[in-house]
Structure 1
Amino acid sequence: MACQKQNPSTAFPEFNEIFTNALEYLDENAGWLEITNSDDKEEGPCSIWQSNSGQYDVASVAALVRLFATLPRAPGELVESVYQPFAVTVIETEDPAWIFSTRKALNSGLLPATRSKHKYLPKIQAVSHEVPSIAKRRAARDEFAREVEERLAKREPVIFVTDRADSLPDVAREAATNWKSLASLTWPMVSRLHEILHGRKERWPEILNQPVSSDTGFLSRAKPDSLALAARQPDFAHVVSAIEKSSGREQSVANPDALKDVKGLGDSRILLEQLAADMTTWAAGDVEWSEIPRGTLLFGPPGTGKTFTAGKLAEQTGFHFVATSYADWQKHGHLGDFLNAMAKSFTEARDNAPSLLFIDEIDSFTDRETAAGDNADYTRAAVNALLEKLDGVRSTEGVLVVGACNSFDKLDSALIRSGRFDLKVEMKLPDKAVFAEILDGHVGAAVSNQTLHEVSAHLVGCTGADAAAVVRQAKSLARGQKRELTDQDLLTAARLFAPASLPEDLRRAALHEAGHAIVGHALGQGVPIRAEIGSQGGSVEFHAKGNYPTASELEVLISTALAGRIAERVFLNSVSTGAGGDEGSDLAKATLLAVQMENQFGFGAQRLLWRPVEINELNSLFAEPEFSHKVALRLERAEKTAKTAILKSRKEVMAVATALMEHRQLGPKDLEAILTPNLGGHVPEATTEVSPNQDLTLPLSEVRAF
C-alpha cells in the first residue's frame, strides 16, 4: 500500500449513492427516519436528535469510510469489480484489529446496499478467519480452510477479509482476482467520520495545519475501538489529541542524534544514517515504503553493540522498538511454542507500526541444506516459518526487520537474499580511539586522558561491551573504598578484566602479527588497514580484493596466513600454538584454501573436477593419501614463499613488532611509514636469533596434521 504525503487541506470526497445507502444500513435506528425527516420538529434540549438520529457502530462506519477510499467509487465499476461470476476479492487490513469491523461494514452495509439497488445480484457475505486461542488455532485454521473451499466451489463471487495474505489458505490466494489493501487511515477520513457522528462539518483544515497533524505514524496505529472512543469528542481538536494518546505517540518521539551515541561505526555509520533518514522521510509521507531497503543485517563479533545500535536506530526514527532473539522464542518450549512466540513478535511489530523488529542471534537459524540428525526437521520448520514471516511483513508499511549475527556465512541462503535483508552492516571491534571515546563517555572528567589512552591500548582486541564492564568494575572498586572514581581504579579494573600478557608472550604475538603484515604487503596485498595485539591475541586486516581471485592471489592468501608462524620460528627459533586452534585459525584458513584450490576452484591436477568442500568434511578428504599429499605440497610452497619474504624484510618485521609492543595497535598510516621508509618512516634495527640460511620447511608428517 503506497504511503502518500497527506495534504491536510484536502477534504474527503462525498459518498456516492451506494455508500450513502450503506451508511443507512449500518444505522441501527434507521426506523426513526420517518420521524426525523418530518417538518414537524420541536424545540427543546438535545434537539440534534431530530436532525441526526443515527445509532452507529462507530468502528464499522470508520471501516466503511476506509472501504470507500479503497474500492472503485463509480457504482458500476464497484459492481463489475466485486460481483463478476467466480470473482474472488481479497481485502487486506494489515492490522488484525480491523478485520471484524471491515467485515461488518461489508456484510451489514455495503453489500446489502449494493444489492438493494441491483436486486438481481447474488446475496453474498464477506468471510474472514478468526484469531482464537493458541490451543484452538489449528482447528480454527482447518475449519476456515474448509469454508474457503466450499465457497470457491460455487459460482457466486467471494470476498475475503484478512490482515495479510499469508493468513489465507493457498487455494484462496491462487484464486484471487482482486487484491485490495484497505486504504490507510487519514485525517480527512477521520473528519468525515466525525461529521457523520456529530452531524456537522468542522473547520478541520485549520486544526490539521498544526504541526502535530503532519505526523501520521500514530494515526496509522489507531485501533477501531480507540478511534470510536476518540470520535465521541465533540471538538475535532480533542479527537486528534485522543487518538495521539491512545496510539502511544508520546513514546515514539524521534531523537535525530541517537546514532551519535554509537561509537566506532566507521563506514557503517553512513549506511545506518541514510537508512534512518529514509525511514524518517517515509514517516513524513515523502517517499513510499517500497523504496526503503528491505531489512538490515548487523554482523560482527559478540559484544560489538549490535543490540544497542538497533535500539538507537529505532530511537532516531521514533519507531516502536521490538527486541527479541532466537533464544527468546525457543525458551517457550517445543516447536509449536517456538513458532507461536515468533508470530507474537511479528504481530507486535505490525500492531505498533511504524516499528523496528530486532531479531538477535539470527545465525541460530542454520542452513536447511546442511541440517542433519535429530534436529533437522526442527531446523527446517524454524527457517521456513521465519521466511514466511519475513515475506509477510514486507507488505506491511512501517515495519523494518533488523537481524543480528556473528557471521552470516552459515545462514540459509534464502534468508539473506535481497528482498529480505538488503543491507549488510559490519560491526567491527573498536580501535584505540573508539575505546577512548567509550571510556570517556562512561567516566567523563573523573579520569585523565593519559589513563584513558593507556586503558584503551590495554583493551585492544576486546569489545565495547567489555569496556563498559571495565568501567562498572572500576566504579565498584571506588564504591568499596567510599570515594570518587580515580585513574587507579580504571587501571586496576582493566588489568583484572584482561590480565596483562607476559613480556615474552607479548613479543611473540608482536612478531607473529608483524609476519602477517610484512608478507601480505610484500606479496601485493597492500598496506594493512590495521595490525594489533592484545591480551587476547592479535590480528592483521587487509583491504579485500575482488570477488574473483586468481590462483596466484589465492596462494598469496595462503602464504600470508602461514607468515605469523614462520616469523615466530625465524626470530624466536620456535613456534607456538598461535597459528592453530579452531576453524578460524591461520592453519585452518590456509588448509581450507589449499583444499578448495585442489577440489573446488579448478586449480588442482584435475582442473575440471569439482567436489564440494566443507570444513567439517576435511577428515574424510585427507583419508585419501594422494589428495593429502597434494594439499601438503601446496602448503609447503606457500610457506617457502612466506619465509623468503620475511628473510628479505627482517628490519621491517622487527620495526612493526617493536611498534606493536609499544602502541598495541597500528593504523594504515603507521604501517605505511614503516613499510615505505622513503615516505619518512623510521625503521629500527632488527635482531634475530637464527641463521637466515636455516631450512624452515616443515616435514610432511607435520603438514598433514593441519
Structure 2
Amino acid sequence: MTAPVFRSHALMSSAAMPASQTPLGVNPAATAPETALLTPDWRPFAEAILAAVEGCGWAGWRVSAPAKPGAGPAASASDAAPATPDQDAAHTTAQASKSGSAEPAGANAATVPDADADADADADDTLSVDDLLDQIEAADLGPLLPPCPPTAKEPATLWRPKAGTLLSAVRIAATFGNAEALAAAFGERGAVTLLATGSATLDYAVKKTLEQIVAEPALWPDVAHTLELLYALDAVRTGSPERHRPLGGLTDKAGEALEKGRALVLVTAVAGTAPREVRDLHPRVCVLAPLDRTMLAVLLDMAYPGQRADSALAALPGSARVSRLDPDRATLALRAANPEAAVRAITAALCPPPTEGAGWAEFPLPKSVRDPLEAMIRDLRDWQEGQIGWRDVARGPLLVGPPGSGKTQLARLIGQEAGIAVVAGSVARWSSESSRSGDMIRAMRAAFATAAEQAPALLFLDEVDAFGDRARPRDHNSAYTDYIVTALIDLLDGFEGHEGVVVMAATNHLSKLDKAIVRRGRFDRILTLPHPDFTLLPKAIRWQLGADLPDADLSAVAQAALGMSGADIAAAVRSARGAARRDRRDLTLDDLAAAITEARPPLHPELRRIVAAHEAGHAIVGVATGRARVSTVALAFDGGFTAASLADHAEDRPLVEAHLAINLAGRAAEQLIFGRITTGAGGAPESDLAKATRLATALEISWGLGESLIWLGPVDGGEGHLRNDRSLRARVETHLRNAEARATRILTANRKLLAEMSATLEATGVLSGPALAALLDRVVLEAAASRAPEGVMPESHNPVLTARQSVLGGKSFGQGRDTGHAGGHDQMPDISDPDLAEDGTR
C-alpha cells in the first residue's frame, strides 16, 4: 500500500516521537516499544484525519491542561474525562507543529506564549496611544485612566476528540488505508456510492469527517473530483408526485449532482435500509470495516497516548463483540481516567453477566413452536462458528397468539439462548415522539440500522398488526396506512439477506395484517402460540414460581388453571406470594390454589354438567367422522375446550361438511341429553355457530363447492353477504341444519358413551392420555351410507382447489375460549381461515 502524503502537523503518538519530544511526565526508560496491535499500516492516515478535524466544534472540545507537568491528571472541563500529561504533550506537540514552531513539546507544555512581549519586540518607532497617554501623565496632568489590573495568563488547553470522532477516524482509515485509496473510491467522476456506516449514531460524525477530509488539500488530491456528500434520507423527496420517474423522487441537490456528473456519496447506516429511490440508482455499496480489536487498540492509544492501551486491552474477554461498541457506549467508556478503567467499562457494556434463573429450556412451549425455533437457534450458533453460511440460516417466524401468551418474552429468550442481541420495536414505540409518517419511518429505519450494528441480532417487531391492512375499506387514515405499510415492506425487502440479522414479528390478530407482509420470503413460518394446555400448565406454573415450591405437585392447581394465559398465571403467583408475605411465612401450595380460585372461580355445578356434555359431543363426532384426532377434553373456569388435530384429507366438500358437523356437535349433545340448547355455542365471533356459519358461507361463495361456481368474495367477511341475499341465506341455513342433524345421528348411536364420557369429564375436569383413549376407542363410527346430508342440497364432487395448501391437515384447535353463557365451548378449527392468502400461503 502506497503511503500517502500527510500534513506536517499530523498527530503523532507518544511512542513514535523522537526522544527529544518524549511527553512530560513519562519516563523514557519506562516507555516500552509499541506492539503491532498499535501500529497497523493505516494508523498514519487515522492520525492525519484527526489532525484535519482538530478544532472543529462538532469533533471535540478544548479542556484544561494539567497545571504542572508530571503532577498527574488534572480536572477536566465540563463532563470530559481528566486529561493526562501524555495527552497534554501529544496535543501541545500538534499545536506547535500547526504554528510552525520546531520547539519540542516539553518546552511549551505548561506555558502560554506572551503575545504582548512579541508585539513589543516587533513594534516600530511610531508612538502608540499608550505612549501618548504616558507622556500626558508625565506632564503632571494627572492620571487620565484608572490603572489596569494585571492580566492573567489564559490556562493551557488540550483538544479532546469525541468518541464518535475517534470511531470515524479509525474505521475510515482501516477501510481505505490511505488518502489516495479513499479518493479513488469516492472521487471518480459520476460515481454514486452508498456508504454504510453500520451505526445510525455514527452517520453524522462520518459525514462531517469526510467533509473535512475533502476540504483538506493534503488529504484530497487535486486530481480527485469534488464530492457531494448527503445523507441517503436527505437525497429523497418525500411525497413527490413524480416518484414514479427514476429521478423524480430525488431532491434538487441530489438530482443536480447526478446531472452535472459530480461524485455523489450517500451516507446511511445500513445499505438495506436506504430508501428505494436510492437503491434504484444501483450505487456502489461501500461498507465501513466494523470495529475490531486492532482498531479499538489504536482508538484507546489515541485517547490515552503513552499509557500502553494494548496492555489494558488484554483484559477484554475474547468473547466480546467489539463491533457492537457504538458511539454512546464508547463515550461512556472514554470518560475513564485511564485505559484500564475504560476497558472495564467496555467489558461491562459488551459482556453483560448471564441472566440467572430459568431459561429457554424451561419455558413452556408446544412442540409445534419449540422445534422450529430450536432449529433457528442451532443455525445461528452454527453460523457464528463458521459452519454454515448466512443463506442457510432459518429465517425468523411470525408469532401469532392471544395477549399474555408470552410472545415478547419468547424473543428475549431466543436472544439469550442463541447468544445474540435483541432489538425490539413497534408502531407504538416508533410513533411515541411524533405521529407524522415521515418521523415514524425514520424511527423504523433507525431500529433496523441498530439491529445491523449489533449483529448478530434479532430484530423483534411487536404488535405488527398495528401497521394495518391496505386492503381494508378506505377511510381518512388509508393514505397513512398505505405509506407506513409500504415503508415496512420496503425495509423487509431491503434487509433480506443482511448478514447477521434475523427479523421476527408477533401479532394478536393475524387477520388484520396486510397480506403482503405475511407472504413467504418475508416470514417463512407462522407459528401459533396458544395459552398453555393441560399438558403445559404445570410447566407454565413452574416457570412463574421460579425457585419457590421446588418439590410441589402442581397437577391439581394446573387443572384449576385451565384456560389461563401465562400472564394470568403470573398474576396469580404474585397474589399468592403477597398473601404469604402478609402472614410473614413462606409460600405454600394452598396459597397458589387460593389465588387461582379467586381469579378464576369454578363453573356452577349445573353449568359444569352442560359444558361437559357439550365437549364430549365434539370429541365423539370428531372421532366418528374420522376427521379428527382428539388429544384432550377439559373443563376450564369459563367453559371447556377440546384439543385435537384434523386428519390429513383432501379439502373437498365431504371434509367441509364433516367439519360443520363437528362444529355443531356441542349443540346436538346438549339437546340430546338435556332436551334444550343453551347459548354457549353462539354469541362470540369465534363461537361454534359463528365459525360454522362462516364455513358454510365460504362453501357457497368462495370455494365453488355449493350450487354456484361464481366467486363472490374472500372467506374473511363473507358472511356479510347473508344480510341481503335471501337465496344464499337459505342455502347456508340448509348446510347448518344438515350438519346438526348429522351430529345428532352420530351422538344417538353413541348415547350411552356420551352420558358416561360427560359424567367422567364432569367429575375429573380433564380427560387425556390412556383414559381418554379408552373412551374414544368405543365410539361407533359413522357408516359410509349415512354421511350424505338430508335435504335438498345435492352432493358436490368438485375437486379441491389445487392452488390452496392444506388448511386442515395437522392443525390443532381448541386452545382458545368462547364467551358464551354455556361456558366458552371449544373453538373447533375453521376451514374458512381468513389468515390465508388466496394462494394458500400465510
TM above 0.5, yes or no, is yes
Cα 1:74/1:129, change in 2 over 3 Å: closer
**Deviation per CA, 1:557-578, whole angstroms, max 9, x where unpaired?**
1111111111111222211112
Q: Aligned to 2:285, what secondary structure does the other structure show? A: strand
Between the aligned partners of 1:582 and 1:698, the Cα distance in structure 2 is 28
1:572 and 2:599 equivalent?
Answer: no
Give, as a single letter, the amino acid of the residue that structure 2 aligns with 1:533: L
Cα 1:602/1:480, change in 2 over 3 Å: same
**Deviation per CA, 1:308-352, whole angstroms, max 9, x where unpaired?**
323333444555555565455666675557667766766766676
2:190 to 86, 107, 115: 86
1:226 and 2:327 equivalent?
Answer: no
Give, as a single letter, the amino acid of the residue that structure 1 aligns with 2:204: F
For the 8 Å contact 2:400–2:509, the answer to whether it is kept is yes
Give, as a single letter, the amino acid of the residue that structure 2 aligns with 1:159: V
Between the aligned partners of 2:263 and 2:531, the Cα distance in structure 1 is 60
For the 8 Å contact 1:294–1:422, the answer to whether it is kept is yes
Between the aligned partners of 1:62 and 1:637, the Cα distance in structure 2 is 74
For the 8 Å contact 1:293–1:423, the answer to whether it is kept is no
For the 8 Å contact 1:474–1:490, the answer to whether it is kept is yes
- Counterpart in 2 of 1:152? 258
**Deviation per CA, 1:602-655, whole angstroms, max 9, x where unpaired?**
212223x22213554424335322222222222333233322222222343334
- Counterpart in 2 of 1:120? 223
Q: Aligned to 1:575, what secondary structure does the other structure show? A: coil
Q: Aligned to 1:414, what secondary structure does the other structure show? A: coil
1:598 to 693, 696, 700: 700
- Counterpart in 1 of 2:637? 535
1:432 to 526, 529, 534: 534
Between the aligned partners of 2:622 and 2:644, the Cα distance in structure 1 is 8
1:308 and 2:409 equivalent?
Answer: yes
For the 8 Å contact 2:380–2:393, the answer to whether it is kept is yes
Structure with larger Rg: 2
For the 8 Å contact 1:531–1:541, the answer to whether it is kept is yes
Between the aligned partners of 1:540 and 1:507, the Cα distance in structure 2 is 15
Cα 1:398/1:488, change in 2 over 3 Å: same
Give, as a single letter, the amino acid of the residue that structure 2 aligns with 1:586: D
- Counterpart in 1 of 2:724? 623
For the 8 Å contact 2:379–2:393, the answer to whether it is kept is yes
Give, as a single letter, the amino acid of the residue that structure 2 aligns with 1:297: L
Report the CA distance between 1:263 and its aligned residue: 2.4
For the 8 Å contact 2:315–2:343, the answer to whether it is kept is no
2:751 to 628, 650, 657: 650
For the 8 Å contact 1:349–1:356, the answer to whether it is kept is yes
- Counterpart in 2 of 1:107? 211
1:182 and 2:288 equivalent?
Answer: yes
Q: How does 1:375-414 map to 2 (within 5 A)?
A: 375-388=477-490, 390=492, 400-414=502-516
Give, as a single letter, the amino acid of the residue that structure 1 aligns with 2:319: S
Give, as a single letter, the amino acid of the residue that structure 2 aligns with 1:632: E
- Counterpart in 2 of 1:5? none
**How does the TM-score come out when normalised to structure 2?**
0.66
1:215 and 2:320 equivalent?
Answer: yes
1:560 to 656, 662, 676: 662
Cα 1:25/1:143, change in 2 over 3 Å: farther
For the 8 Å contact 2:45–2:173, the answer to whether it is kept is no
Q: Aligned to 1:527, what secondary structure does the other structure show? A: strand
Between the aligned partners of 1:383 and 1:59, the Cα distance in structure 2 is 33
Between the aligned partners of 1:55 and 1:416, the Cα distance in structure 2 is 50
**How does the TM-score come out when normalised to structure 1?**
0.77
Decide which structure has greater helix share. Answer: 1
Cα 1:380/1:413, change in 2 over 3 Å: same
Between the aligned partners of 2:574 and 2:304, the Cα distance in structure 1 is 59
For the 8 Å contact 1:111–1:124, the answer to whether it is kept is no
- Counterpart in 1 of 2:347? 244
**Deviation per CA, 1:360-414, whole angstroms, max 9, x where unpaired?**
4333333210143344334334433444555566687665544322242331112
Between the aligned partners of 1:55 and 1:442, the Cα distance in structure 2 is 50
- Counterpart in 1 of 2:683? 581
Between the aligned partners of 2:687 and 2:301, the Cα distance in structure 1 is 71
- Counterpart in 2 of 1:635? 736
**Deviation per CA, 1:47-78, whole angstroms, max 9, x where unpaired?**
9xxxxx9997775464344234445x699876
Give, as a single letter, the amino acid of the residue that structure 2 aligns with 1:529: S
For the 8 Å contact 2:572–2:599, the answer to whether it is kept is yes
Give, as a single letter, the amino acid of the residue that structure 1 aligns with 2:201: A
- Counterpart in 2 of 1:497? 599
Report the CA distance between 1:212 and its aligned residue: 0.6
Between the aligned partners of 2:281 and 2:549, the Cα distance in structure 1 is 69
Between the aligned partners of 1:231 and 1:189, the Cα distance in structure 2 is 19
Answer with 507-516 or 143-152: which moved more. Answer: 143-152
Report the CA distance between 1:186 and its aligned residue: 0.8
Report the CA distance between 1:159 and its aligned residue: 1.5
Cα 1:367/1:258, change in 2 over 3 Å: same
Cα 1:30/1:171, change in 2 over 3 Å: farther
- Counterpart in 2 of 1:136? none
Q: Aligned to 2:602, what secondary structure does the other structure show? A: coil
For the 8 Å contact 2:424–2:461, the answer to whether it is kept is yes
Between the aligned partners of 1:606 and 1:58, the Cα distance in structure 2 is 71
Gaps of 5+ in 1: 1-7, 48-52, 132-141, 678-682, 686-692, 701-706
2:168 to 56, 63, 67: 63
- Counterpart in 2 of 1:14? 41
**Deviation per CA, 1:422-442, whole angstroms, max 9, x where unpaired?**
443322222334333344555
Between the aligned partners of 1:99 and 1:226, the Cα distance in structure 2 is 15
Between the aligned partners of 1:325 and 1:198, the Cα distance in structure 2 is 41
For the 8 Å contact 2:382–2:388, the answer to whether it is kept is yes
1:522 to 596, 603, 624: 624
Gaps of 5+ in 2: 1-34, 56-92, 111-157, 235-247, 781-785, 794-842
- Counterpart in 2 of 1:297? 398
Cα 1:362/1:662, change in 2 over 3 Å: farther
- Counterpart in 1 of 2:613? 511
